[in-house]
Amino acid sequence: MEAAAAPAVQKENRFWKGVLAVVGIMTTLVIYGVLQEKIMRVPYGADKEYFKYSLFLVFCNRITTSAVSAGALLASKKALDPVAPVYKYCLISVSNILTTTCQYEALKYVSFPVQTLAKCAKMIPVMVWGTLIMQKRYRGPDYLLAFLVTVGCSFFILYPVASDISPYSKGRENTVWGVSLMMGYLGFDGFTSTFQDKLFRGYNMEIHNQIFYTTLCSCILSLAGLIFQGHLPLAIDFVRRHNDCFFDIVLLSTVATASQFFISYTIRTFGALTFATIMTTRQLVSIMLSCVWFSHPLSWQQWIGAVSLNLKLPFHFFVHILGSSINPVYNMLIRSLFLVLSMQKAS
């Protein structure tokens, strides 16, 4: 009887771990998204100056996370020695810096709601990288959902409201450069989470160990980039002249640190694809907050894309969290969808 109860207990524990992952990621990253848009798109001071140094934000975020993870390792009396070869940590670091830089730079050309919905397509690069790096095989419903998500994203990007203009652009804000930056973001982000998953599985490393070394590498690389571009003194001077910007960056770095621990926990516990699915479930909340806070208009086609995306994703997440017991129901829903489409076509 105890043996029969064990799987139920494990499933319940897995469920609550999933709840922790969802709540932690959604809470921290929704706040993070609103703050990053405020810093990059809202002018500071009487002269209406815009903060333009995205790499400085990356540096502040990573140095805070690195310090906290080092403190956690020391407090738990765990070794600071790297578990994997250092160059593998650096690969994650470089990819993560490129991901974050593309994300910040894209905000100069596309609004946060457009950027947020475009992130729903991150399931596709995660599946591609998972196949290439980890030789994973995904099920038919996974590919179908990824395709539907992509269609929803296309609706959202192809039908913007012309009145929503970027402060960095004189024309429509969905520029080719903005879309290119978002494609770069999706590609690098997919590689980052997949390679993190590979390291967790291949070396059985602690969460704090991976976070410490990847963020330490990111600190060094982002600082070098700031010095090379000559942006470090300019960013410091901007923050010195605008105290409200300083407090925004401190809060952003704090939330980014918390989100990094939830992200690593989710990838280590459930894998990269589940992490990508959780990330997409938070998009509608982020969009609503951004539209209300920063007065972004949405066309009716964009609302269709937003709602259709976010209705599909929560169920997909719980299929992966709770395991195969829900798969028959999921497959039945997929078959029902095809049946309805076939009947409509016949009529």
Q: Which of 316, 320, 312, 318 is nearest to 149 (CA)?
A: 312
What contacts 83, CB < 8 A, 6 or more positions away? 203, 204, 205, 206, 209
Work out the end-to-end distance of the chain between its first and last CA atoms, rounded to an integer number of angstroms: 54
Which has the minimum average pLDDT: 107-111, 139-143, 187-191? 139-143
State the Cα–Cα distance between residues 236 and 250, nearest whole angstrom.
Answer: 13
Mean pLDDT of 67-91: 86
Give me the mean pLDDT over the 226-235 stretch.
92
Please state, in angstroms and rounded to a whole number, the distance separating the CA atoms of residues 324 and 7.
13
Taking the model in full, what pTM does it have? 0.67
Helices (H), the chain: 2-41, 54-75, 86-106, 112-118, 123-134, 140-158, 176-203, 207-229, 232-241, 243-270, 272-281, 283-294, 300-322, 327-346
For the stretch 158-217, pLDDT in tens is 555 555 544 444 444 456 777 788 888 888 988 988 898 888 888 878 888 888 999 999
Neighbours of 158 (CB within 10 A): 12
Residue 15 · residue 319 · CB < 8 Å: no
Identify which has the larger pLDDT, 8 or 267. 267
Decide: helix, strand or coil at residue 80: coil
Q: Which residue has the higher pLDDT, 233 or 113?
A: 233
Confidence of residue 122 (pLDDT cuts 50, 70, 90): confident
Separation between Cα atoms, residue 293 and residue 289, nearest integer Å: 6
Q: Is the pLDDT of residue 237 over 90?
A: yes
Residue 37 has pLDDT above 90, yes or no: no
pLDDT at 331 exceeding the cut of 80: no
pLDDT the model gives residue 342: 46
Phi and psi angles of residue 239, each rounded to the nearest 5 degrees, phi first: -65, -35
Q: How confident is the model at residue 4 (pLDDT cuts 50, 70, 90)?
A: low
Going by the DSSP 8-state scheme, the letter that residue 51 receives in this structure is P
> pLDDT, tens digit, for every residue of 307-330?
655 555 555 555 555 554 444 444
Residue 54 confidence class, pLDDT cut points 50, 70, 90? confident
What is the pLDDT at residue 224? 92
Q: How confident is the model at residue 255 (pLDDT cuts 50, 70, 90)?
A: very high
